[in-house]
Amino acid sequence: MRMLPPRRASLLVAALAAAASTAAIAQADRASQAFETIRAVLQHPRCQNCHIPGDAPLQYDAGIPHAMNVQRGPVGLGATAMECSVCHGEANLPVSYGAHVPPGAPHWRLPPPQIKMVFINLTPAQLCAQIKNPRETGGKDLQAMLVHNRDDKLVAWGWEPGVGREPVPIPRAQFVAAWQEWMSLGAPCPAN
């Protein structure tokens, strides 16, 4: 086997290192873009109105406190005698009912108080760390979180929230694809 002269060998090593560096930067950019899509969905009012730090959900696109002093309750289904299902049915009411009627989806609820999964006022790095932490997600790893976001009917409601509410503007399939890509790239978190 013939050896390259030292100068050519060092040029080849430098070229390979530059190519590897360029590929790593491109991969990091793809991961960053994928996570930005995830962040934009999770921090949209359709998601963050229920993923709250306190115990009173928010409502409407402006994220105002829920009327009637609604509270999370001991398991996320509302306070005793004011459960979410009293007003929120299994589906949105027909458009003919007008604006400002309670929306509906199967199993309407808030996250339980032990696993609030807060999306409000978090930096992208904090949000990323939270969704990667099974202690913060009720034991769900990233794959289980993907399945939850892909298959759960209450999550799906965010894209069809009924009259008077802005749907999540990023198509759900694009959100799921971004989650898959982010995971395939190692699920890196953005820097603070």
What does the pLDDT look like over 128-149, one tens digit per residue?
Answer: 999 999 999 999 999 999 999 9
Strands 78-79 and 64-65: unpaired
170 neighbors 40 (Cβ within 8 angstroms): yes
CA atoms within 13 A on the CB side of 189: 15
Tell whether the model's pLDDT for residue 11 goes beyond 70: no
How confident is the model at residue 53, as a pLDDT? 96
Q: Which residue has the tokens 């929120």?
A: 88
Q: Sorting pLDDT into bands at 50, 70 and 90, what band is 167?
A: very high
